[in-house]
Amino acid sequence: MNKRILKNTEWSILICICILLIIGLVALYSATIDSNLDEFKKQCTWILIAIPIMIGIIYIDYSVIVRFSPYLYGLSILLLIAVLFTPAVNGATSWFNIGFFAFQPAELAKVFVIMFLSYVIVEIQKKSRKEINKISKLAIIFGTVFLPLLLIIIQPDYGTAIAYVISLVLILFVAGIDKKYIIIAFLILLITIPLMYFFILPEHAKSRIDVFLNPNLDPRGAGYNIIQSKIAIGAGKLFGMGFLKGTQTHLGFLYPKTTDFIFAMIGEELGFIVCGLIIVVYVILITKAINVAKTARDDLGSYIAIGIARNIIISRTRKHRNDNRPSSNNRRTITIC
């Protein structure tokens, strides 16, 4: 059993994860050294907790885990309903706060929904792979994702909701959905995206899109952090300003530097070479994850793998506080010539 697991383990994925963990811990240490290393210690704790869990899951066949996916799916729905009754943070009810511990059920539900969705599609395709192209079967598949998707939109958390939709699209593509549905879906998107932008999205969501495309529209407000992150990366040049020596990082211009702008902080202190290494490692990781999906022993493994690969390809971080810029009490002004 142990020899088989060692033989079948994709070691390149494990190596990529270890490299990213090391770089992440180094960056987090620098980002939190001015605040008693709280986030750094928390990250180390979760890594230590995750290692035995990872090893334990490796020894369990995924087909066994998927048998419990209906119950895990039900649990995720209950959590997504319960979180709606928690106090809102920045206008969104997305987090459970239990003492020093906080978690976002939508992130946990990602894995549970992917497993249950894969299970549902495999059950539908037991008779024939073409069964997935029947309208009634597609309705079941879309219904599986629609309920958690609706609960996440209500929070509201549009970014995570989009991630669920992308997972569904990738899994359906791998499952062999008819091309005509892909074309129809693409045409619907071309029509609905402009309509959503102009008539459905709230003003703050529109502002984020506009500022993302052109940060200079509001350089002292919504575009402030994006501009500061570019300055930080540019200041790092090829080899970086040096570990613990980043001016944008340690003078309070990057916020929140432990999540949204950790890459900019890495670019400032460790330079272009390390940033390039991170991108290369991610490309290898994504490529290997897709390869696992292509070479899985059965359809169930393939669907789960491509769904999880989506979590790597399109990942996002979120904190309790998402201010566009630090408050005046937290910022210091410096003139750089």
pLDDT tens for residues 121-140? 999 998 888 888 888 899 99
Q: How far is CA 243 from the centre of its chain?
A: 27
Cα separation, 273 vs 238, whole angstroms = 6
Residues 312-333, mean pLDDT to the nearest whole number: 46
Q: In this predicted model, what pLDDT tens digit does every residue of 1-14 receive, in sequence order?
A: 567 777 777 888 88
Categorize the per-residue pLDDT at 97 as very low, low, confident or very high, splitting at 50, 70 and 90.
Answer: confident
pLDDT digits over 67-80, tens only?
Answer: 999 999 999 999 99
- Per-residue pLDDT tens over the stretch 282-296: 999 888 888 888 888
| Residue 162 buriedness (CB in 10 A; 0-12 / 13-18 / 19+) | middle
129 vs 37: CA distance, rounded Å: 52
Distance CA 62, CA 165 (A): 23
- Over the stretch 7-61, which tens digit does the pLDDT of each residue have? 777 888 889 999 999 999 999 999 888 888 888 988 899 899 989 988 888 888 8
Confidence of residue 317 (pLDDT cuts 50, 70, 90): very low
Residue appearing with tokens 């201010």:
323
Q: Is the peptide bond before 256 cis (omega within 30 degrees of 0)?
A: yes
Residue 319 scores a pLDDT above 70? no
**Nearest residue to 102 (alpha-carbon basis) of 113, 91, 115, 86:** 86
Each residue's pLDDT tens digit, 217-236: 888 887 888 898 999 999 88
The reported pTM is 0.78
How many CB atoms sit inside 10 A of residue 287's CB? 14
Bond prior to 156 in cis (omega within 30° of 0): yes
Q: What is the pLDDT of residue 322?
A: 42
Mean pLDDT of the chain: 83
Residue 315: pLDDT band by 50, 70, 90 thresholds? low
CA 98/CA 200 separation, integer angstroms: 34
